[in-house]
A and B are shown apart, each in its own frame.
Chain A
Amino acid sequence: MTILKPLLGWEGFLLAVLIAIIAANAALSPQFLTLSNQINLFQLSIEKIIVALVMTFVIINAEIDLSVASMMGLSACAFGWFFQQGVDPVAAIGLCLLIGVAGGAFNGWFIARVGLPSLVVTLATLIGFRGLARVLVEDRGVSGFPQWFGDLGQKGLIGPVPFALIAFAVLFVALFVLLQRTGFGRKTYVIGTNRDVADYAGIDTGRHKMIIFMMSGLVSAFAGLLFAARVGAVRGDVAQGFELDVITMVLLGGVSIFGGAGSLMGTLLAILIVLNLRNGMALVNITGHIQTGVVGLLLIGSVLVPRINLSALRRRPQKEAT
């Protein structure tokens, strides 16, 4: 893939970076390797990393979904609104997941059937879903959810391991199998590489894209509910700005923004790198702008620089071939 490939490949490179960060963290902070910190490390960003898994499908499919964070906000606020209206919480969860599927179908229809660029469609729904979320709860906070709902978000379900972390693990395995071991996964790559070729080969690319955007909506709505459970209250600004963190994790994982290339293992490694780096810095009291700056530098170094080589190396032989 890159000039690093002869040595260890992109994923091998990420693994080396991850090991270096973990070693540095363990050396600098005695609390880093404690079980509670390792769980917190995931919990603090659990919603983002769950959405990053499905974003991997979207980007490999040569699309983008900018509306994920707004859908998380809409789902969380819808839950708050239903709760205020006296809807049974379990039914409210089901309705919120349906909103996620419907929102994803809305995106997918305009992208796959009308043929609008996903950048434009999901930029519109980024604003639209967020607007709906704000209409639902206005500028109030909604809290006082049932005890079991909060416990699900905050307490350990199996020993100290919380529900959201188990959900992440299960979802990772399921999506890994789907992407790397099934026909659906292969189609995702083929369509992402060249949609025209895929169309010509008889793949219903529109249907495939519809399904992927509905998956994205559903998982985002689920992540929004996890956020509501974890923090025990919702406001109109829930998850605001999360979409960029999600997309950067996927790109750091080696998924090509042009589609057709990347893997869930790469995304997982990138997630672990970002989470461990943030956690390590927080433990040594590097927060705020400096933390943002360090993560930004890492991303410039690891997303941008190898990618220049990648595109230069990939495009030249393609041109020669045609």
Chain B
Amino acid sequence: MTHFKTLGLTAALMLGTSGYALAESHAMTLEGGQATNMVLLPKFLGILVFDQANEGAQEAHAELANPGALLFVGPTPENSVAGQIEIMTTAATQGQGAVMLSNNAGDQIAPAAEAAQAAGVRVVTWDSPIPSGAGEDVFVAQVDFGSIGVVMADMAHSILGGAGEMAVLSATPDAANQNAWIAAMQETLASDPKYADISLVDIVYGDDQAEVSYNRALALVDSHPALGLIMAPTTVGIQAAAKAMQDEGMCDQVKTSGLGLPSEMVSYTMNGCAPEFALWDFRDLGYLTYYTAYGLATGQLTGEIGETFVAGRMGAFTIEEDPGRPGQKRILMGPFTVYTSANVEAAAQ
């Protein structure tokens, strides 16, 4: 689509329609080349997935030929709440066109985000929204949080061959995301007779720390001799569990699955310790978030429900009401990528 960039908005609208037969009829193609300064603000710096999101945003930035600047700035982990508020406030002072926020401050960021909006900054959240939605234009959701249950249940079904014992190794007992995902998986297991022979025998928490998770995984094996699978819906837990099973030479009896990063899981997938796991692509998430924020900051998108636009190589997306947060708006990226020995090596690059 890059050669359409120089065309006018109207022409681009028409071309967007013809170019994407599956898209809704009014899907618009964003016009590139308009200058707007934008800030990509992750939960904190130094985490691989946020660097990947930045790569995706930089890709979109180059593709749209935005003469403005794209900044990747974030707080340190020990100062993430105050740091995010400070960066949001500074962005308003600087007159940035948009801030793309992976929120780590709960509703505490809302007053700063509202003040930024009042100063003309568009606020697009990704990965983690503002719970109340106050101060947020739209949330770019990586996956539908409900669908994660089905994906995990299906991976369990496939790995266990339809029958066996599984246990969950989660992050912290109060992690809202993980709890929602585990609940969704339990619901799926209970509602479909296909999973009748799979029993969930335990749920333990490794606090998203490698060593704790490692020990919890070993303890699971001790307390459940017939265990066939450890399901870890966290990138820290899944890696620790796979390593524990590999170190103990137990990968033949107990497999590991869940949500993991290809670059961290590739060796365990290739040697059979973790034959299948899933995750969304953070590069794509950064890419889609950038397109959304660019459209809003340049005034090409208004951010109303029902608005449909083309996000470059990823195709058309529509702004809809967030089912998890009534009255708030989201764009659903989805779907999951399930990684196996067939595709994990390419993704790990």
Contact = CB atoms under 8 A, between A and B. Distances in A.
Interface of A: 31, 34, 36-37, 40, 43-44, 138-139, 141, 143, 150, 153-154, 230-235, 237, 241, 278-279, 282-283, 285, 287-289, 292
Contacts of B253: none
Interface size range on B against A? 20 to 34
A102 to B, nearest CB: 26
B75 A287 contact: yes
B111 A154 contact: yes
A40 to B, nearest CB: 5
Nearest to A229: B111
Given A40-B93, A282-B86, A289 B71 contact: no
A287 B78 contact: no
Given A36-B93, A288-B75, A288-B76, A44 B106 contact: no
A289 B107 contact: no
Contacts of A232: 107-108, 110-111
10 smallest A-B Cβ distances: which pairs? A139-B174, A233-B107, A231-B108, A141-B106, A282-B90, A287-B73, A143-B107, A288-B45, A233-B108, A232-B111
A34 B119 CA distance: 14
Interface string B62-88: 000000000101111011011101110
Nearest to B134: A232
A288 B107 contact: no
B135 to A, nearest CB: 10
Contacts of A40: 89-90, 93
B131 A141 contact: yes
Given A237-B81, A288-B45, A288-B74, A44 B86 contact: yes
A272 B312 CA distance: 47
B132 interface: yes
Contacts of B87: 282, 287
Contacts of B115: 154
Contacts of A150: 111
A230 B112 CA distance: 9
B343 interface: no
Contacts of A37: 93
9 contacts: A31-B95, A44-B89, A141-B106, A141-B131, A150-B111, A285-B71, A287-B87, A288-B83, A289-B45
Contacts of B71: 285
B337 interface: no
Nearest to B176: A139
Given A154-B115, A231-B111, A292 B106 contact: no
Interface string B108-140: 111110010000000000000001100000000
Contacts of B172: 139
Interface string B87-111: 1011001110000000001111111
B83 A287 contact: yes
Contacts of B73: 285, 287-288
Contact of B79 (A31, A154, A241): A241
A287 B74 contact: yes
Contacts of A287: 73-75, 83, 86-87
A241 B86 contact: no
A288 B82 CA distance: 11
B86 A31 contact: no
Contacts of B75: 287-288
Contacts of A138: 174
B106 A233 contact: yes
Nearest to B75: A288
Given A31-B95, A40-B93, A232-B111, 12 more contacts: A31-B93, A37-B93, A44-B85, A139-B172, A154-B111, A154-B115, A230-B111, A233-B107, A233-B110, A235-B108, A237-B81, A287-B87
